[in-house]
Amino acid sequence: MAEPELKSRSSRESVAKAASQEKMGAEADPDGLILESAPSPSTPMAPAPADKTPTKGEKIELKRSITLFNGVGMIIGTIIGSGIFVTPTGVVKETGSAGLSLIVWSACGVISTMGALCYAELGTTITKSGGDYTYILEVYGELAAFLKLWVEMLIIRPSSQYVVSLVFATYLLKPLYPNCSVPDSAAKLIACLCLTSLTFVNCISVRAATKVQDLFTASKLLALIIIILFGFIQIFTGDVPYLTPEKAFEGSKMGVDNIVLALYSGLFAFGGWNYLNYVTEEMINPERNLPLSIIISMPIVTVVYVLTNLAYFTTISPEVMVDSEAVAVSFGEYHLGVMSWLIPVFVGLSCFGAVNGSLFTSARLFYAGAREGQLPAALGLVHTDLFTPVPSLIFTCLLSMMYTISQDIFSVINLFSFFTWLCVGMAIAGLLWLRYTKPDLRRPIKVCLFIPVTFVLGCIFMIAVSFWAAPFECLIGSSIILTGIPAYLLGYKWKKPHVVKKMLEIFTMFCQKIFMSVPEEKEEREAAE
């Protein structure tokens, strides 16, 4: 059986109708959007993006430029944020001891690797960008995919990007305010500067964005290696009272609720292992490099996380770690002395790299949604010279900066603690469904059945834990998710009046001209055929 082809719906219909127009000045078809078409002799002036298209000799599309090394950097860089430096306390708070904490961290790494391997199969079977959104669309249909896109667009992506950029700003400014807290206005201004500068880099080229990602991934690994080395030096001195056989498991909390919440905290720290699947179409040889990136990066992250926590326990007791506001900073002050300022610098660099990876993949998610017709067509445009989704990147940046007006952004994020596990679980359950309904589908990678079955059960468990730990917040989050249903009916299914379509046409043409962007060329050919 041939590999399934996920057709763009509304966007391709609109492209086909636009292609049938003989000139841009013609009246718009009431059922479609005006998109760039070749200028006719009777048209005195055509939009600039269309003029550049035929002279380049290259298809207007997102180019395959992400290498295996870039893929490894993307996964490691998005998983490792500020948490491992600042507050790796969720696990030890629930376990109560260093020994049990390290076991839980190891288990979380193994579980996350199982999920990542399932995504390696999904990404090489359904070879389109968009990650969870694309897989849910293929298996569960348009409504489920739209709800995923709705929450990611309004809450998950912009809020998380703003929070991490705010942490970056706080650590960058802290040396200027050594004896007091950093002013909110200054931190928010630097956070917005972080978002806009990284958006600019991502607009310039994919290669520039991946180089930034690789650089900052290397910097955060360097920082963690420094911490690990000092930890081993401390071990060799023999002065490790919290890791002796008598003390390592002292005070362990073996209750089911404690272990469950410890696993929940640990798995949250591994979030981001599925981000590379959002850019599958831009990977060089994804059938080889996508699974290899996962196989290389996940063990690295797991080992680094476990050894970093081991290093912390050589110096800091579990009780002190729970109360510490910045564990790595306390560790650095003990071992680095006058050079302890390096740790806050590395924390800031780590956050900067994490924001870059999130911006990169978020733009591709919204681009995929626009290509399927579930978001405005303007977000599905590609720059004619840079071959990057410039409108989608700018839209992502603006959404993130809107959260500067929020006074308690963390409470908003907590409402959706279960949503990531719900979407990941649905995607991997879809993998099982595709195996059952389409057994002859081409699968370059096929993981052992035990892995996806176990992981789906784990996702159900994590969702149940979320509702058990914070039922009121999860119910509010569920209600917000359901607000996507009227948005789906009005924005996607509803046959819009001519005046609404005309406004969308004008907006799309404006974005094409101002951003020098057009739809992917391959879509135009398919529509013409």
pLDDT digits (tens, 9 = 90+) for 108-131: 999 999 999 999 999 999 999 999
Whether 30 shows a pLDDT value over 50: the answer reads: no
User: pLDDT value at position 2?
Assistant: 40
Q: What φ, ψ does residue 518 adopt, rounded to 5°?
A: -140, 165
**What average pLDDT does this structure show over 209-235?**
93
What per-residue confidence (pLDDT) applies to 493? Answer: 86
Instruction: Decide which of 450 and 20 is more confident.
Output: 450
pLDDT for the residue numbered 176: 83
Q: Characterize 116-148 residue by residue with b for buried, 16 or more Cβ atoms within 10 angstroms of its Cβ, and e for exposed.
A: bbbbbbbbbbbbbbbbbbbbbbbbbebbbbbbb
pTM of the model: 0.82
Q: Which of 30, 24, 61, 43 is nearest to 526 (CA)?
A: 61
- What pLDDT, on a 0 to 100 scale, did the predictor assign at position 522? 62
Q: Please give the average per-residue pLDDT across 248-271, as a whole number.
A: 86
Q: pLDDT at position 232, please?
A: 94
Whether residue 101 has pLDDT greater than 90: yes
Distance, in Å, from the CA atom of 69 to the CA atom of 43, rounded to the nearest integer, reads 48
Range 302-322 average pLDDT: 92
Other CB atoms within a 10 A radius of the CB of residue 529 amount to 6
pLDDT of 418 higher than 80: yes
Question: Is residue 390 over pLDDT 80?
Answer: yes
Q: What angle do CA 124, 127, 128 make, to 5 degrees?
A: 145
Q: Tell me: pLDDT of 216 over 80.
A: yes
What mean pLDDT is predicted for residues 145-172?
Answer: 92
The alpha carbon dihedral of 71, 73, 76, 81 has a sign of negative
What percentage of the chain exceeds 90 in pLDDT? 55
pLDDT of residue 87: 64
Confidence of residue 485 (pLDDT cuts 50, 70, 90): very high
Question: Does residue 1 carry a pLDDT above 60?
Answer: no
pLDDT of the residue at 57: 58
Contact 168, 358 (CB under 8 A): no
Residue 40: its pLDDT value, please?
Answer: 40
Residue 418 DSSP symbol: T
Mean pLDDT for 500-527 is 81
Provide mean pLDDT across the span 8-18. Answer: 42
Mean residue pLDDT across the chain: 84
Does residue 418 contact residue 474 with C-beta atoms inside 8 Å?
yes
Give me the pLDDT at residue 35, please.
38
Average of per-residue pLDDT across 408-430: 84
Whether residue 19 is predicted with pLDDT greater than 80 in this model: the reply is: no
Query: Who has greater pLDDT, 393 or 61?
Result: 393
**Residue 502 predicted with pLDDT over 50:** yes
DSSP 406-417: -S-HHHHHHTTT
Taking only the tens place, the pLDDT of each residue in 36-95 is 343 444 434 434 343 344 444 577 888 899 999 999 999 999 999 877 877 678 888 889
Lowest-confidence region among 47-51, 78-82, 152-156, 392-396: 47-51
